[in-house]
Structure 1
């Protein structure tokens, strides 16, 4: 069975007919040709498929496309602003925060969401003071990125890159963590 849906992906509207069993990840990769998001475990456990779905990070392998008719999706291909990399992408390159690169698209989308969540003052499970904005120290970053696995073990570079990107984007919580 197929259904007609509309998705806005990386700022471009797509009206497509999809199999009602298809995940957002399958639609992105197979129907729209956006292969940046990876199919890792296909069970929502590794984070390789992480995208921004209506402004929040989501495992695209677990989201049914038909349930997200009208959604706005940002994939790794949409993080850059034209030819200019995002602060997160720049920091990942500078900190060598990847090895094989398979998990990198999901890590980048998740890190982008981490900066947004912390910037909005959203606490995590390790936020010490719930009455103030979270401080993006290493423990906070690790907790917030914990849904994204790197089988190569590039975690030190990933944490450093997220910290650098937060400082680069002017996040006051990151500046306090560096003090």
Structure 2
């Protein structure tokens, strides 16, 4: 599935891998593990008893558009958020075979399961940071600081942050902003 998606939707670690192999001409084919004479590390299941972070390059954190204090706040709030804590456990242990096996509040992340990754306690959806509920209002205010309207605010958000229903939240914020409403064409 990773090869079929655009490069920008892959997590940063996979983006670097995909960029390195772009110069080669090859086909990716599935081969069941039982038919392989020598299994490799990619064909093994994750160890459910080990849930350590996978060490990533510091280059990955350059993609986060937040200062150091905001990164620490994101780490704390992600750990406190029950939904995101459960999502971390699912990412570490592996996704179930069907969406129906997931808790209801995690089902919204099912379509993005291939794009989700964790680095230093922060969950990423590709290059976007998944924002905990407690920080969403603050992040919305920061996105809308320039009073750029719905579409430009959405575009800015797509570059850096994500949470379920973010577009609806942006719409509500801009429609409730008195400054933006005064600037609208009559």
TM range (shorter): 0.3 to 0.5
Q: What TM-score do the two structures reach when normalised by structure 2? A: 0.32
Pair member with larger Rg: 2
What's the TM-score once normalised by structure 1's chain length?
0.33
More helix, by proportion: 2
